[in-house]
């Protein structure tokens, strides 16, 4: 290959041309790939979200089609303030994060109530009902809140008594791999099954503590083992579960439920 | 022709990026708990290394010396993002398991090392093949480690049961250590030992040797 002897590639003009030109070309390539592939990725994400709902409900069957299994689950919209069902928005197309900042659908959360650190939320939220004939077997609530690095989004499954937890699973988070990401790993996740959200009152009692839950503690039903090295992530999980089951979240809905009015 | 062969075959054993050059160990430890993510990681790294080699080689007469590393990083980073986006679209489940490690190909020393050492001085075709060869060298080790770890750690290969584990009513007591990161260290160490016993020329000279002093030298 002939060397271009008279061309000074270390000159300031060439440095600028290469730097700017390369940045432009690379950014065009990267952003067009992101845009072209977005629909496929979103479909994957949606399918994954449905799988998580099925998984937290214990309905996931290996090899079965997600959409078929998901058809057995009934999504309903709830108006959070009153705790009643509503048909104002379609639960299948509802996007909680987009609705939270929408002037019509969203509202800001007072600072002292915002234990999930999310700032604002939608006035409505979907619930997923798992039925066996007419009787409801599980209520699956979407929950989200800030962890250490990221917003953690997941689903909490409750028994029909509105207080016994069946499971908690996250479908999106960016917590520290190896430490905070244990929130979505089996040994820690398994502890949630059978724990209680509410004691006597309407305030949720469930929390992630520091260290392991003492076996003989009187309120062991309301405590989850801490995650060593991931205290802030664990605090975030406590915050989001308490917020969404609390009086400002699904509290009124769950109260109706516990009192048997729906 | 022999040059082409050398560029592709050499990195497989004689100049392997992991066992001889000791590059890319971090991801070799992290993604080898089972075979499928390891395979996907191999494809991702090999394609990034080959394409980055070709792209950097094409620009090598224009890249100013004082910003060359940044230029390399920009090209590599763009390719990595491209691969990551493709994986998220077409291999969603496995890309979840790979999590941050696809993104970390950007900092994988194999890619940057070959860009700096080879692509800056050689033609486009050869640089592409050099990236391919080094990617394959990395892949050989990753596949070997992942096969051993998945087989003895979970009794499966690519998710299909090979050794029936006790947990599934079989005879094989799965070795949990194999699924933990330290086992990858042991396996890579043993591989390096094996390769250096086979290919004696890879054994390095000791950097320091105790000098035996004779009593007459003391004074």
Report helix, strand or coil for B212: coil
Entry pTM: 0.73
Q: Which of B30, B78, B124 to mutate to test the interface with A (most CBs of A within 10 A)?
A: B78
Distances (CA, A) of A163 to A158, A184, A194, A226: 6, 21, 9, 21
Q: CB burial class (10 A; 0-12, 13-18, 19+) of residue A241?
A: buried
ipTM over the 0.85 cut-off: no
Check if B88 contacts A (Cβ < 8 Å). yes
Beta bridge partners of A146: A151
Q: Which of A3, A11, A19, A22 to mutate to test the interface with B (most CBs of B within 10 A)?
A: A22
Residue range B67-95, pLDDT digits in tens: 999 999 999 999 999 999 999 888 888 88
Check if A186 contacts B (Cβ < 8 Å). no
> How many C-beta atoms surround the C-beta of residue A163 within 10 A?
20
Find the helix or strand (DSSP H, E) in which B79 lies.
helix B68-90
Using the beta-carbon criterion (under 8 Å), do B85 and A33 form an inter-chain contact? yes
Residues contacting A10, CB < 8 A, separation 6+: B64, B65, B66
How many interface pairs between A and B have CB atoms less than 8 angstroms apart? 64
CB B52 within 8 A of CB B69: no
Q: Return the residue matching tokens 């069946």.
A: A166
Residues contacting B17, CB < 8 A, separation 6+: B11, B23, B24, B110, B113, B134, B137, B138
The two tokens of residue A4 are: 């271009």
> What does the pLDDT average to over B183-193?
91
Check if A67 contacts B (Cβ < 8 Å). no
Cα of A181 to nearest chain B Cα, Å? 11
Q: Which of B92, B126, B176 to mutate to test the interface with A (most CBs of A within 10 A)?
A: B92
Supply the pLDDT for residue B128.
94
Using the beta-carbon criterion (under 8 Å), do B123 and A1 form an inter-chain contact? yes
Contacts of the segment A43-51: beta carbons below 8 A, 24+ positions apart: A44/B88, A44/B89, A44/B92, A45/A172, A48/A171, A48/B92, A48/B96, A49/A171
Residue range A177-226, pLDDT digits in tens: 667 888 888 778 888 988 888 888 888 899 998 888 888 888 888 989 98
Using the beta-carbon criterion (under 8 Å), do A18 and B85 form an inter-chain contact? no
The answer on pLDDT for B136 being more than 90 is yes
Cα of A10 to nearest chain B Cα, Å? 5
Using the beta-carbon criterion (under 8 Å), do A9 and B75 form an inter-chain contact? no
Check if B90 contacts A (Cβ < 8 Å). yes
The answer on pLDDT for B46 being more than 90 is yes
Supply the pLDDT for residue B103.
84
The answer on pLDDT for B66 being more than 60 is yes
CA atoms within 13 A on the CB side of A11: 7
Mean pLDDT for chain A overall: 86
The answer on pLDDT for A262 being more than 60 is no
Residues contacting B84, CB < 8 A, separation 6+: B44, B95, B102, B103
Closest CA to B146 of B156, B136, B137: B156
- Binned at pLDDT 50, 70 and 90, residue B141 comes out as very high
Using the beta-carbon criterion (under 8 Å), do A30 and B78 form an inter-chain contact? yes
Supply the pLDDT for residue A26.
94
Residues of A in contact with B61 (CB under 8 A): 3-4, 7, 9
Q: Which of B77, B89, B96 to mutate to test the interface with A (most CBs of A within 10 A)?
A: B89
Residues of B in contact with A18 (CB under 8 A): 59, 62-64, 67, 71
Beta bridge partners of A153: A144, A172
Cα of A234 to nearest chain B Cα, Å? 21
Which residue of chain B comes nearest to A12, CA vs CA?
Answer: B64
Cα–Cα distance for residue pair A225/A192, rounded to 1 Å: 10
Supply the pLDDT for residue B81.
92
Which of B64, B88, B90 is facing A15, going by the closest CB pair? B64
Cα–Cα distance for residue pair B49/B42, rounded to 1 Å: 10
CB B191 within 8 A of CB B138: no
Higher pLDDT, A68 or A207: A207
Which residue of chain B comes nearest to A21, CA vs CA?
Answer: B71
Residues contacting A241, CB < 8 A, separation 6+: A143, A156, A168, A197, A204, A206
CB A209 within 8 A of CB A81: no
Which of A3, A22, A33 is facing B74, going by the closest CB pair? A22
Residues of B in contact with A7 (CB under 8 A): 61
Supply the pLDDT for residue B17.
87
Higher pLDDT, A8 or A31: A31
Mean pLDDT for chain B overall: 87
Using the beta-carbon criterion (under 8 Å), do B92 and A34 form an inter-chain contact? no
- CA angle centred on A58, ends A203 and A253, rounded to 5°: 30
Find the helix or strand (DSSP H, E) in which B192 lies.
helix B181-198
What sign does the CA torsion over A181, A182, A186, A192 have?
Answer: negative
CB A233 within 8 A of CB A240: no
Residues of A in contact with B63 (CB under 8 A): 9, 18
Using the beta-carbon criterion (under 8 Å), do B71 and A29 form an inter-chain contact? no
Residue range A137-161, pLDDT digits in tens: 889 999 999 998 889 999 999 988 8
């Amino acid at each position: 290959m002939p060397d271009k002897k008279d061309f000074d590639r270390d000159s300031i003009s060439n440095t600028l041309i290469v730097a700017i030109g390369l940045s432009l070309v690379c950014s065009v390539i990267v952003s067009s790939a992101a845009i072209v592939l977005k629909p496929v990725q979103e479909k994957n994400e949606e399918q994954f979200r449905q799988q998580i709902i099925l998984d937290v409900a214990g309905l996931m069957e290996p090899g079965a089609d997600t959409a078929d299994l998901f058809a057995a689950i009934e999504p309903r919209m709830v108006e959070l303030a009153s705790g009643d069902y509503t048909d104002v928005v379609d639960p299948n197309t509802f996007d909680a994060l987009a609705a939270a900042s929408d002037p019509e659908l969203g509202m800001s959360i007072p600072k002292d109530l915002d234990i999930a650190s999310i700032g604002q939320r939608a006035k409505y939220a979907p619930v997923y009902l798992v039925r066996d004939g007419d009787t409801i077997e599980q209520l699956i609530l979407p929950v989200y809140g800030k962890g250490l690095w990221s917003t953690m989004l997941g689903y909490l499954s409750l028994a029909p008594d509105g207080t016994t937890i069946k499971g908690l699973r996250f479908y999106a988070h960016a917590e520290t791999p190896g430490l905070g990401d244990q929130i979505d790993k089996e040994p820690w996740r398994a502890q949630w099954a059978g724990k209680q959200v509410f004691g006597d009152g309407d305030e949720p009692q469930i929390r992630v503590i520091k260290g392991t839950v003492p076996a003989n503690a009187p309120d062991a039903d309301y405590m989850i083992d801490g995650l060593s090295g991931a205290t802030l992530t664990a605090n975030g999980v406590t915050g989001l579960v308490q917020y969404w089951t609390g009086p400002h979240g699904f509290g009124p809905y769950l109260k109706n439920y516990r009192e048997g009015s729906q | 022709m022999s040059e082409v062969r050398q560029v592709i075959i050499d990195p497989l054993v004689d100049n392997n990026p992991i066992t001889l050059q000791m590059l890319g160990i971090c991801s070799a430890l992290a993604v080898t708990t089972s075979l499928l993510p390891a395979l996907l990681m191999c494809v991702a790294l090999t394609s990034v290394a080959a394409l980055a080699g070709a792209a950097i080689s094409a620009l090598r007469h224009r890249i100013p010396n004082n910003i060359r590393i940044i230029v390399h990083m920009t090209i590599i980073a763009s390719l990595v993002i491209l691969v990551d986006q493709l994986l998220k679209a077409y291999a969603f489940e496995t890309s979840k398991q790979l999590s941050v490690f696809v993104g970390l190909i950007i900092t994988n020393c194999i890619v940057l090392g070959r860009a700096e050492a080879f692509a800056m001085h050689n033609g486009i075709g050869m640089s592409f093949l050099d990236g391919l060869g080094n990617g394959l060298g990395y892949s050989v080790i990753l596949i070997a480690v992942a096969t051993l770890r998945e087989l003895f750690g979970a009794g499966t290969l690519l998710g299909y049961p090979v050794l029936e584990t006790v947990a599934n009513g079989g005879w094989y007591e799965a070795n949990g250590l194999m699924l933990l990161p330290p086992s990858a260290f042991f396996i890579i160490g043993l591989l390096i030992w094996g390769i250096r016993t086979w290919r004696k020329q890879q054994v390095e000279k000791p950097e320091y040797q105790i000098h035996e002093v004779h009593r007459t030298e003391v004074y």
